[in-house]
Amino acid sequence: MTVLSLRRAFLGLACASAALLAACGSSTTESALTPSRIIAFGDAFSVVTPGAKYTVNDSSINNWVTQFASSYGLSVAPNASGGQVYAQGNARIGTKPDAAGSSTTLTVTEQIDTFLAGNSLGANDVVLINGGISDLVVDMAAVTAGSISESQMQTNAAQYGKDLGAQVRRLVNAGGKHVVVVGPYNLGITPWATTLGKTDLLKQSSSKFNEAMLVSIVDLGSTVLYIDATYYFNLVSATPTGYGFVTESTLHDSYTPKIACTSVDSGAGIGTGTNQVNSSLCSASTIASGVTYDQYLFADNLYFTPLGQRLFGLYAYDKVHLRW
């Protein structure tokens, strides 16, 4: 079963039972939720560190968490600066080392540990949690090295989905009333997948992750909302001009999606190999020649340009606004 068909099945069940894991349509009343705080846990996708976000680090709103918060008139900052965004680049859900081989990066589980050790969740807090990209990056490297099979990668992906679901449940049990969860988008659409010749495997593994996660949290509909990143970015990738990007043919070079940044990292970077572009090092001055970066979807092999980030933040806000 595909992620899209599973999504439809789950949404149908959710609407029928009123246990909504995903927004089923417009609310009949004006949104009653006015968030007190936006709290976020996750990996590189949710990092908000100034000058080191995984995108083009320009002066715009260039991260989906920041855009989501801004839509509610709120601001966010990394926990290291006194804020409530705990996400760290290359973080895995519960395993170390991270996607780049570092053992100092807090896992998503440890990020939540840190928060709960000194904080509690309020009735009007909105918690954003994402994960899974780094876990799949690690397993793809293991497949390439021959240390695990493609079948094992898909089995592992399902377990990672359950692991993220367990952290969602943990947040609900800690008092979370508005928990928003985002699994990995379809990594099969990335420049990385095309370069490796593994578009199908990464698509299937992303799907296995999200399917297992949804099954593990299906009873949490009153307090949890699933934002389907796979569904959204598949639409953007398939019809880019409808979202403000250049045409699909322009976005690709010999069928490989182009990336906007030129900020090569001689180290492990985003986990896809040494001497690869790392968008956390990218600024408006490290852009490929002739490229208008906000007309491209990918800043590097995995992460999105500011426009891609903003669009997803607005999409998530719309879903949450309709739901609560």
pLDDT tens track for 197-223: 999 999 999 999 999 999 999 999 999
Give, in degrees to the nearest 5, the angle at Cα 55 between 72 and 296: 100
Would you say residue 317 lies in a domain? yes
- DSSP output for 213-226: HHHHHTT-TTTEEE
| DSSP string for 99-138 | TTS-SSSPPHHHHHHHHHHH----TT-EEEEE--HHHHHH
| Token code pair at residue 303 | 């992460």
Instruction: Find the largest Cα–Cα distance for the chain.
Output: 54
For residue 237, being part of any structural domain is answered with yes
Please report the beta strands in 82-222, taking only residues with DSSP state E, as ranges in sequence order.
126-130, 179-182
Give me the CATH number covering residue 29.
3.40.50.1110
State the CB neighbour count (10 A cutoff) for residue 154: 16
Q: What is the mean pLDDT of residues 99-118?
A: 98
The answer to whether residue 245 sits within a structural domain is yes
Percent of the chain whose predicted confidence (pLDDT) is above 90: 84
**80 to each of 34, 48, 92, 164, how far by Cα in Å?**
25, 11, 19, 23
Res 79: pLDDT: 98
What is the per-residue pLDDT across 7-28, written as a single tens digit (0 to 9) for each?
444 444 444 333 447 654 444 4
pTM: 0.90
Q: Give the domain extent around 308.
A: 3-250+303-323
Cβ atoms of 236 and 308 within 8 Å: the answer is yes
Q: Which two tokens stand for residue 216?
A: 């593990």
Domains in the chain, number: 1
Question: Which residue, 183, 239, 187, is CA-closest to 210?
Answer: 183
**Digit-coded pLDDT (tens) for 230-283:** 999 999 999 999 999 976 555 555 456 789 999 999 999 999 999 999 999 999
Q: Are 46 and 38 in contact (CB under 8 A)?
A: no
Answer whether residue 95 is part of any domain. yes
How would you write 252-266 as a 3-class SS string? Answer: EECCEECECECCEEC
In a domain, 287, yes or no: no
pLDDT at position 38 over 90: yes
Q: Specify if 196 maps to a domain.
A: yes
User: Domain for residue 282, yes or no?
Assistant: no
Is the pLDDT score of 108 beyond 90?
yes
CB-based burial, 98-125: b 16+ in 10 Å, e otherwise: bbbebeebbbbbbbbeebeeeeebeeeb
Write down how long the chain is: 324
CB burial of residue 92 (10 Å; 0-12, 13-18, 19+): buried
Domain for residue 44, yes or no? yes
